[in-house]
Structure 1
Amino acid sequence: MAHDHEDMVWRRDAVEQVLDARERALAARPTESVSLDQIAGRTLASPVVAQADIPNYDHATMDGYAFDATDDYPLTVTDVEIYPEDEPPSIEPGQAVEIATGAPLPPEANAVLKREESEVEDDQLRGTTLEPGTYTYEKGSNVREGEQLFAAGERLSPIDAILLGDLGREQVDVTERLSVGVLATGTEIHEGRQSDLDSPMLMGLVRSWGHDATYEGTVPDESDRVTDAIADLAAEYDVVVTTGGTSVGHKDYVIRSLADLGTVEFHRVRVRPGKPIALATLPDAVAFAIPGKPLGAHTISTLVMRPFFTGETALPAVEATVSTDLAMGPDGFEYAVPVTLTDGVARPFGHTDSPIDVYEDTFDPSVLSSSTRATRADGFVLTETDLTEGEPVDVVPYASVER
């Protein structure tokens, strides 16, 4: 079915523009040095290049006996045992030396016979036939000197501390966290007649993505006040995130205000729910305008805004099958269908056989986008086509895009 929103962009194109905005923002960021226990969620300011081979010597990966695998049994066991802290001795042809896991191999040794596969009698060693390299961690096999292991702009996680530590780094330079001002628009919210459900969620996302978020209150649906509030926040924060007022109604002033203050890079992405998101470049800040319906706000933020803060575009997913036939709406959209996931079966949330009855045969993102109960889903399925009962699908867990 055709639609008349030709100015909308596909998600992949929107994400490319978001990543471009991120690159520009990072290029201007100050940097700071942090210890390895503080790197989680931080963004590297410069590449990390290995200054030496790792490991810088061959060592054993099993307790046992080290020797030249081209020698024939029996081998004479020396009276020396090598531990990780030792300098390895030399051995003669036909000799073997007892060795502990992690200990350096003698220069002449190229294999380790596991202790449980060995037999020693009167200092004579016999065991299974080995190939050179068996149970050894060879010099330079992990990292080569001059090899780039991390790129500038990469977002670090706790596991990265292992390799960085092995590279001899005690600290790394990272960009300072982005400061984010969150502003809720809407007269009904400003006057307290309706709760602001989006701002706490959006601030939580920004913080889980490694940056600082501050709630800057509300503003009514008045053109001048919306423009002034965004301008004030853009002068104070690196990023402005607004909620509500992103559609095309008479009182939806946010997009018009962003256009007056800077350049709207895109407005409306071919994703439902969450379509009327916008990205704008302002003189001193980047702005994201997020639609006001809570589930739609979360969905489109994790799909489109997340790459700006994390640099990550992958959508980690788990495999499942669909519990029921489900038609989508008009063509030309990606639909993010919330689902619960039980024993490998994805059940569309909002379907008549789910905890809330919103639709039966055709997915209804408009109503579901406003449902706070729908946040009890486990994740969502992205699809441009109808779903068929038993069809394999990828479920994107909410948890995987919230970090």
Structure 2
Amino acid sequence: MSHAVDPCAKPGLIHPNDALPKLLEQVTPLSRTERLPINNALDHVLAEDITSSINLPPFDNSAMDGYAFRFNELSTQSAETNFTLVGTAFAGHPFDDDIPSGGCIRIMTGAQVPASLDTVQMQELTEANDNVISITAPKRTGVNVRKQGEEASIGQVILTKGTKIGAAELGVLATLGVAEVTVYSKVKVAFFSTGDELQPVGTELKAGQIYDSNRYSIQGLLTKSQVEWIDLGIIEDNPESIKQAFIEASSQADLVLTSGGVSVGDADYVKQVLNEVGEITFWRLAMKPGKPFAMGKLGDAIFCGLPGNPVASMVTFYQLVQPIINKMKNLPHSDPLKVNAKLTHAIKRKPGRVEFQRGILTRNHNGELEVSTTGAQGSGMLTSMSVANCFIHIAIDQGEINAGETVIVEPFSGALS
């Protein structure tokens, strides 16, 4: 649904729901690939389909410890049938001898079921008296037997191109006997902060100066995004320094991020320099926090200019930059998980911008989801992000919200665990 003409939006402000598709239209997924052993492939994205060269399972095998026998040799006169034990099959050590009529074998979980047998009864439903095994009849043939190829067959595509490789996928690849895979190379992201007031941590602050926190937050977000990042530090607020930083960043990276310098102040030179060395799409978003946001091109690299306020920088990363990175990584776009929760206290606000308030999501004694804000919501109050485990989404036309009303919440990773 388009929100571009929402009457609550301030003139010149674009709804973030309209901005995101426009951002993604400018992004081309990376085509660089590399061949990696599977033990180095975690969190990469497959650049090829993985086809099975074997059947899974590769042979009929037992789903549990018990006894294997022929189903058609069960007695029709009683609930139990006596079989003669003739041997044992272990996982990796099949029983290869002939099995006479009325014979059975002891079989362990994962062991191959001999071709002449078709059913396994669990150990708990049997009784052993020397070599005589009394088996309670199962309801059907083939019980507790994993059939050859029931999970996958030779030639079947098991993992498709574009699949992100997690722990389960590593196990699947190993199960198939795949030692190496072709994956897309990691996205390279260069980033720096701008602002003469910013100082590196570990130095003494002078009047009017603050420590640069945004680069550390951005570094953490990029690390969690499984990209290769390049930290170019703090760049002073003058056009030539910013120009050289852009040239250096774009020569090394697929994506360039800046923090600060994209508002309308006299010393905000990012937009000016971008117009000289690249192309820029500049938006003022109907979004709180995070109104000033810039995107463009620097040579072959994508550029995103985040707001200088620490919370606004993180919010715009979550809502706008992360989807860009995912598309560059060849991952399909998916909306973040959102859940409904009951607000524990009133929120006072004026309509006009989509708001992402920092919240604390919990379960009450009835198991229902409840959410409260972290308190003051200033865009410079980074401690609110540290306390929060979710965003509370507030619609552009929403006014005051009363305690007990249901709100939409976007949990951070692990918030519901």
Shared fold per TM-score greater than 0.5? yes
Question: Match for 2:378 among 342, 357, 368?
Answer: 368
Residues 141 and 271 (structure 1), Cα distance of their counterparts in 2 relative to 1, 3 Å cut: farther
**2:250 paired with 1:234:** yes
Q: Specify the alignment match of 1:59 in structure 2.
A: 61
Task: Find the residue that maps to 1:313 and give its secondary structure.
Answer: coil
The 2-side partners of 1:144 and 1:293 are apart by: 55
Aligned positions of 1:2-401 closer than 5 A: 2-5=8-11, 8-11=14-17, 14=20, 17-18=23-24, 21-23=27-29, 26-27=30-31, 29-36=32-39, 38-73=40-75, 74-89=81-96, 91=99, 94-121=102-129, 123-189=132-198, 193-264=209-280, 267-310=283-326, 311=331, 313-316=334-337, 320-331=341-352, 333-343=353-363, 344-350=369-375, 358=376, 368-375=378-385, 376-384=387-395, 385=398, 387-393=401-407, 395-399=409-413
Residues 101 and 221 (structure 1), Cα distance of their counterparts in 2 relative to 1, 3 Å cut: same
The CA deviation at 1:334 is 3.6
Residues 199 and 115 (structure 1), Cα distance of their counterparts in 2 relative to 1, 3 Å cut: same
The 1-side partners of 2:62 and 2:268 are apart by: 67
What is the TM-score when the length of structure 1 is the normalising length?
Answer: 0.82
The CA deviation at 1:132 is 3.2
The CA deviation at 1:103 is 0.7
What is the TM-score when the length of structure 2 is the normalising length?
Answer: 0.80
Q: Deviations over 1:287-337 (max 9, x none)?
A: 221111111211221222123334363424666432123255425x54222
The 1-side partners of 2:282 and 2:99 are apart by: 70
Contiguous gaps of at least 5 residues in structure 2: 1-6, 76-80, 364-368
**Counterpart contact for 1:9–1:268, Cα < 8 Å:** no
The 1-side partners of 2:23 and 2:117 are apart by: 55
Letter in 2 for 1:308: I
**Counterpart contact for 1:34–1:174, Cα < 8 Å:** no
Contiguous gaps of at least 5 residues in structure 1: 351-357, 359-366
Letter in 2 for 1:160: E
The CA deviation at 1:94 is 4.6
Q: What is the CA RMSD across the aligned residues, in angstroms?
A: 3.0
Q: Deviations over 1:150-202 (max 9, x none)?
A: 33333322332111110112232323333322111123227972221101111
The 2-side partners of 1:226 and 1:329 are apart by: 37
Task: Find the residue that maps to 1:21 and give its secondary structure.
Answer: coil
Q: Which moved more, 1:113-122 or 1:95-104?
A: 113-122
The 2-side partners of 1:60 and 1:19 are apart by: 52
Letter in 1 for 2:51: V
Residues 63 and 270 (structure 1), Cα distance of their counterparts in 2 relative to 1, 3 Å cut: farther
Letter in 1 for 2:392: V
The CA deviation at 1:43 is 2.6
Residues 10 and 149 (structure 1), Cα distance of their counterparts in 2 relative to 1, 3 Å cut: farther
Q: Deviations over 1:9-58 (max 9, x none)?
A: 534761674386251xx11x24241332x322223232222222211112
Task: Find the residue that maps to 2:36 and give its secondary structure.
Answer: strand
Q: Specify the alignment match of 1:354 in structure 2.
A: none
Task: Find the residue that maps to 1:315 and give its secondary structure.
Answer: coil
Identity %: 22
The structure number with the bigger radius of gyration is 2
Q: Which moved more, 1:198-207 or 1:126-135?
A: 126-135
Task: Find the residue that maps to 1:187 and give its secondary structure.
Answer: coil
**Counterpart contact for 1:323–1:389, Cα < 8 Å:** yes
Residues 217 and 260 (structure 1), Cα distance of their counterparts in 2 relative to 1, 3 Å cut: same
